Structure 1
Amino acid sequence: MKKTSEMESLTADIIVSEYESLYRMAYTYVHNESDAMDIVQESACKAITKCHTVKPQYVKTWLYRITINTAIDLIRKNKKEVIGIEDYEYGSEDSYRDFDTLDALNVLSPREKQVVILRFFEDLKLSEIAEILNENLNSVKSLLYRSLKKLKVELSEGESYHGK
């Protein structure tokens, strides 16, 4: 029992330290503050309940994976797709401020979007991203490279379109 208690404590500590990152991750999927908070809360409950099934060194990446899956499940449950920039809540306190970049993320597939968000918005290492997505490192590198090329094209087209 002591082992379970220690894992619950470790998991709770990681949840607290990563809460803002997990919230931002969830928000990029649902674009709604309330839903993002619900996702993080549900993910935290799942993690604490099942933490005894994971090795301590993998708790952080496992928690990100739970959050991603919970966000995707909510989207499926509500039968809605990720919404466009016109539906963002501009009055919200969110640290993602570059709306052109956020809008450009919509050209990416869900997998591509995950890699870009984890790498640049959450500042995770490629090896951590590979663990979270259960992919090999070279696949993650390749996916990130392709995603960045797509984003560059999208953002440069947007600049010429808006006359910047």
Structure 2
Amino acid sequence: MKIYNLLDKKKEKLIKQYIVDNKDSLYRFAYSYTRNQNDALDIVHDAICKALTNKDSLKSEDKIKPWIYQIISNCAIDYMRKNNKYTEMTDEIQNDSMVGFDEYENFDLQRAMQLLPEKYKRVIILRYFEDMKISEITEVLGENESTIKTRLYTGLSKLKIELTKIEEV
């Protein structure tokens, strides 16, 4: 029983440390779903509570990144369903100065990302903004690898088209 308690405490400490070390990335990921600062904070809070409550479902220490991102993704989807929230970005939120570090440095890229369908945007965010491997993204989104690769390449093609349109304007 004592060994189980020690493993349990070790896992909890590992999860807490990962959350502290990556709090900005976790928040940005939640924010990519809601485009609302307070909603993103609520989602991260719920996800942290669920992660600590369900720490036994973490099978391996090296899987913590996709595991926590999957929890955040599920919490975000649940939150939006429960509160009838949608990811449509309004001009008011887009111009909100309180989200400072959430804005991409390249405003054309930010605008083009908002024009992408959600399924492509999520994969691009996880791959390039959160620096996840394809295998980690498959775990987070619960899709097979070929689907993720297709969405990534299709999303990048659509993003390129949108950036070209923006540059022409």
* TM-score, normalising length: structure 2: 0.86
The answer as to 2:55 corresponding to 1:55 is no
Unaligned runs of 5+ in 1: none
SS in 2 for 1:94: helix
Distance 1:138 1:30 in 2: 27
Distance 1:85 1:105 in 2: 14
Instruction: Tell me the residue number matched to 1:147.
Output: 155
- The residue that corresponds to 2:31 in the other structure is 27
Q: CA deviation at 1:59?
A: 2.1
Query: C-alpha displacement at 1:155, in angstroms?
Result: 1.6
Contact persistence 1:51–1:59 (CA under 8 A): no
Counterpart-to-counterpart distance in 1, 2:102 and 2:84: 27
Identity of aligned residues (%): 40
Say whether residues 1:18 and 2:22 are aligned partners: yes
Between the aligned partners of 2:14 and 2:63, the Cα distance in structure 1 is 11
Q: What residue is the counterpart of 1:41 in the other structure?
A: 45
Gap regions ≥5 residues in structure 2: none
Report the AA paired with residue 69 of structure 1: N
**Residue 135 in 1 paired to residue 140 in 2?**
no
Residue number among 90, 103, 108 corresponding to 1:96 in the alignment: 103
| Residue 101 of structure 1: how far off its partner (Å) | 2.2
- Over the residues paired in the alignment, what is the CA RMSD in angstroms? 1.7
From 97, 113, 120, the counterpart of 1:112: 120
Equivalent AA in structure 2 for residue 38 of structure 1: D
Shift of 1:133: 1.7
Moved more, 54-63 or 91-100: 91-100
Contact 1:85 1:99 in 2 (8 A): no
Count of matched residue positions in the alignment of Structure 1 and Structure 2 = 161
Q: Is the 8 A contact 1:112 1:147 kept in 2?
A: yes
User: 1:76 corresponds to which letter in structure 2?
Assistant: R
Deviation digits for residues 6-50 of structure 1 (CA, Å, limit 9, x no counterpart): 211111111112211110011111112221111111111100100
